[in-house]
Amino acid sequence: MATTIKVKDLNLYYGSMQALKNINLDIEKNAVTALIGPSGCGKSTFLRTLDRMNDLIENVKITGEVIYEGKNIYKDYDIMELRKKIGMVFQKPNPFPMSIYDNIAYGPRIHGIRNKSVLDGIVEKSLKEAALWDEIKDRLKESAYGLSGGQQQRLCISRTLAVAPEILLMDEPTSALDPISTLKVEELMDSLKKEYTVVIVTHNMQQAGRISDNTVFFLSGEIVENGKTEDIFYRPMDKRTEDYITGRFG
């Protein structure tokens, strides 16, 4: 397996509360990795350590290493460079208060791209990758707020793809969506992993089973078990994984 991110002995504390305990994990390149586990077990916290989003929270202390392309993201990366390579999609769609086009052109413009035809190309490619182009290609100048919730979330995925990241982090990206929009976002995953590495938090077990190659099971800030999704689901080694998968708690 080709590893893209290597997490070594990672601990995270909110004040005196330890939210992540000695996490060691290799994340596979060009695959979908699902993070599962009951509410409060540290999934979002862990996801945020991968692009340093926890840096914004007060009183957070982090020890250990997150190695990406041979470099420690806490020591050897400029935050702008890191955010360009590792993009995040949040639980609730959060389009900016501007046109559909400008939402997607926003990141590339920040990174210095001004040429109209280059931006047009990026907007089209990103919308196609998020399976949204056909639905909205005639509405690019309209406000993003006019889109449905499911379309807004795919717009946010497009916006993240527009800066050509290598890794896409998603924190329960379908939890605010209706079933049809959820299906559309799930269908995206398979095509996205050809070009990107996806790490997705989901509390929906069926979703993890449908879309992921690898699954990581968290409990109380620890990784109980991780591996190929089919092994975690059908041949778990740890009793706690089995109990969770079969719905006995969580």
DSSP tag of 16: T
Contacts of 118 (CB under 8 A, 6+ apart): 108
189 vs 25, 34, 157, 174, CA distance in Å?
Answer: 21, 11, 11, 12
Binding positions for ligand ADP, 154-173, rule CB under 6 A: none
Contact call for residue 42 and ligand ADP (CB under 6 A): yes
Tokens of 53: 């989003």
CA distance 88 to 117: 26
Judged by CB, which is closer to Mg ion: 108, or 221? 221
Judged by CB, which is closer to ligand ADP: 55, or 76? 55
- Residue 88, number of CB atoms within 10 A of its CB: 20
Judged by CB, which is closer to Mg ion: 72, or 91? 91
- Residue 52, number of CB atoms within 10 A of its CB: 17
By rule CB under 6 A, what count of residues binds ligand ADP?
11
Binding residues (CB under 5 A) for Mg ion: these are 44
Contact residue for ligand ADP among 44, 126, 160, 182 (CB under 6 A): 44
In the complex, least distance from residue 131 CB atom to Mg ion, rounded to whole angstroms: 25
Contact residue for ligand ADP among 43, 154, 184, 193 (CB under 6 A): 43
Question: Binding pattern to ligand ADP, positions 10-39, x when CB under 6 A?
Answer: ----x----x-----------------x-x
Contact call for residue 57 and ligand ADP (CB under 6 A): yes
Of the candidates 50, 62, 45, 60, the one whose C-alpha atom is nearest the C-alpha of residue 10 is 62
CA distance 150 to 184: 8
Residues near ligand ADP, by CB under 6 A: 14, 19, 37, 39-45, 57
